Amino acid sequence: MSRSEWHTNAKSRWDTNADNWHSRSVEMWSTGSRKAIIPFFLKSVEKGMNVGDLGCGDGYGSYLLHQNGYNVTGMDFSEKMVEIAKHHEMKNLRFIQGDLIQLPFNDNELGAVMAINSIEWTESPLQALTELERVVMKGGYICIGLLGPTAHPRDNAYPRLLGEEAICNTMMPWELERLAEDKGWKKIDEEWVYKKGVAESLTKSLTNELKQALTFMTLFMFRL
């Protein structure tokens, strides 16, 4: 499958899923699998910065960033998602349609970016990381949430084993960390989001690598 086909099919998948995602979004960010993301971001990134929320979905995460004092541009490659997200628009919060491997931002335009469960939907994660690096100023921040081994959305990668088209990349958290290290990014923070049923008290003595192996999602904060 060509890169254009990969992205067309992934875009179609999220256009179709937009309403379902939107119906669950507030719960995910408030009490579900995404509740740790904004507090994690706030620990490192100074308020008042220009932030890109790349793969913003229905825009609720972008809205929360804005409410916490950032100037936010949310971007998604699903036109349906952007249409829903635009209902959140206000001063210093806007939404645009775009692609992670060809970002609609100027060089060094942003102080920080947040990409939660979006790198996985690109055929070339390395190209996406290079684009993130291009649009963030020197000394800026790159926050990435990557699906862990236990995440159900990884089912979207299964068809590749049958020789069929797949639109989800199976990159592991440690692989993302190595790509970032190869690019010279400095990891300044990491946090682990587990599925229900995993008691965090049982994971405290584990190495980062073993924690990643149990996660639904690993959150990384890098600095350029």
Question: Once rounded to an integer, what is the mean pLDDT over residues 75-96?
Answer: 95
Question: Once rounded to an integer, what is the mean pLDDT over residues 182-190?
Answer: 97
Q: pLDDT band at 4, cuts 50/70/90?
A: low
pLDDT for 145 equals 97
pLDDT for 73 equals 98
Q: What is the pLDDT of residues 37-74, one digit of tens each?
A: 999 999 999 999 999 999 999 999 999 999 999 999 99
d(CA 66, CA 51): 9
Which carries the bigger pLDDT value, residue 18 or residue 223?
Answer: 223
Kindly tell me if the per-residue pLDDT of 191 is higher than 90. Answer: yes
Q: What is the pLDDT of residues 99-116, one digit of tens each?
A: 999 999 999 999 999 999
Question: Once rounded to an integer, what is the mean pLDDT over residues 11-33?
Answer: 82
What is the pTM for the complete model shown?
0.91
Kindly tell me if the per-residue pLDDT of 34 is higher than 70. Answer: yes
Q: pLDDT band at 85, cuts 50/70/90?
A: very high
Kindly tell me if the per-residue pLDDT of 9 is higher than 80. Answer: no
* pLDDT more than 70, % of the chain: 97
pLDDT for 43 equals 98
Which carries the bigger pLDDT value, residue 81 or residue 170?
Answer: 81
* pLDDT more than 90, % of the chain: 69
Q: What is the pLDDT of residues 123-171, one digit of tens each?
A: 889 999 999 999 999 999 999 999 998 888 888 888 889 988 888 888 8
pLDDT for 3 equals 56
Question: Once rounded to an integer, what is the mean pLDDT over residues 7-20?
Answer: 73
What ranges do the domains of the chain cover?
Answer: 3-24+34-223
Domain formed by 3-24+34-223, architecture: 3-Layer(aba) Sandwich (3.40)
